[in-house]
Amino acid sequence: MNSRTGRLHKQELIGLLRELGVRPSRRLGQNFLLDPNMLDALVRSAAPKPGDNVLEIGPGPGLLTKCLLAAGARVTAVEVDHRFAAWLRAEFADVPGISLVEADACKLDYDELFTGRPFRCIANLPYCIASPLLAKFALLEHPPHAVHVLVQRETAERIAAGPGSRTFGALSVRVQCAYAPRLLRRVPPQVFWPVPRVDSVFLELRLRPHPPDVRVRRAVSDVARTVFGQRRRKAFSLLKNRYGEAWVKQVFQDRGLALDARAEHLPVAAYTALAVEVLEAEQ
């Protein structure tokens, strides 16, 4: 690896993987971004600033990690593959500003990891964990204030979908309750190695200025799970089975919601309102 630029050519990467005994794993979503121009473009879009606490998921050979450190960010890198973790630990042993966590990113307690400190996430996310991880972020007591991640195009479109779209679902509601999503750019498969079978998107999530508190966001997730569990049925019918017909009917009428609306036709604000009513009724 060129230590000055942090760039790694394909043959160098293959040699490193052979040395580590690593075969890129589809199960772990190990598709490495090698194109230096694309990497530079993504870092410019995310615009990390000196002193930012940045969470990087799946650093692999550390290409993005070096760019983040060069920008002056303090990086917490989470790597589940013990072979990469050992190599990164040695590679960055004398480098200030980086903390390596060897763990499953979906099982970490980020509120505890960052102890309430503001942080952001910039990462080339493994496809297999993108949806659960981003939903997890949205339900944290102290969620990252910004997320810039490479994800599968289908996942990005689901997250950013609006009511009435066939891709609007529980994931859309959970994430949009806390974040405003934006698809920044489409990324072709050819800039990765191994080459994935799908296109990627660089996705931006900006925390809303006044997101609902964590209890409301978690209740929103619960309501969304209930109505999207059988999305062909009317939302009212599914909710009345859980919370009682008279109460749900009154809530729908008070909020101006149609009794024949299905899950995909209710806006995120309606899910938030329903969640607030559920929490108030439980007090």
Domains of the chain: 10-207 (3.40.50.150), 214-282 (1.10.8.100)
* Whole-number pLDDT of residue 33: 85
Supply the pTM of this predicted model: 0.91
* Whole-number pLDDT of residue 7: 57
* Whole-number pLDDT of residue 22: 75
* Whole-number pLDDT of residue 193: 81
78 Cβ contact list (under 8 Å, min separation 6): 55, 56, 57, 58, 59, 101, 102, 103, 105, 108
pLDDT < 50 stretches in the chain: 1-6
* Whole-number pLDDT of residue 8: 60
* Whole-number pLDDT of residue 195: 85
Supply the mean pLDDT for the chain.
91
84 burial type by CB count under 10 A (0-12 exposed, 13-18 middle, 19+ buried): buried
pLDDT for 7-65, tens place per residue? Answer: 566 777 778 878 887 777 666 667 888 788 888 888 999 999 999 999 999 999 898 99
pLDDT for 199-216, tens place per residue? Answer: 999 999 999 999 999 999
Cβ atoms within 10 Å, residue 256? 8
* Whole-number pLDDT of residue 35: 83
* Whole-number pLDDT of residue 3: 35
* Whole-number pLDDT of residue 41: 85
* Whole-number pLDDT of residue 232: 85
* Whole-number pLDDT of residue 16: 81
* Whole-number pLDDT of residue 104: 96
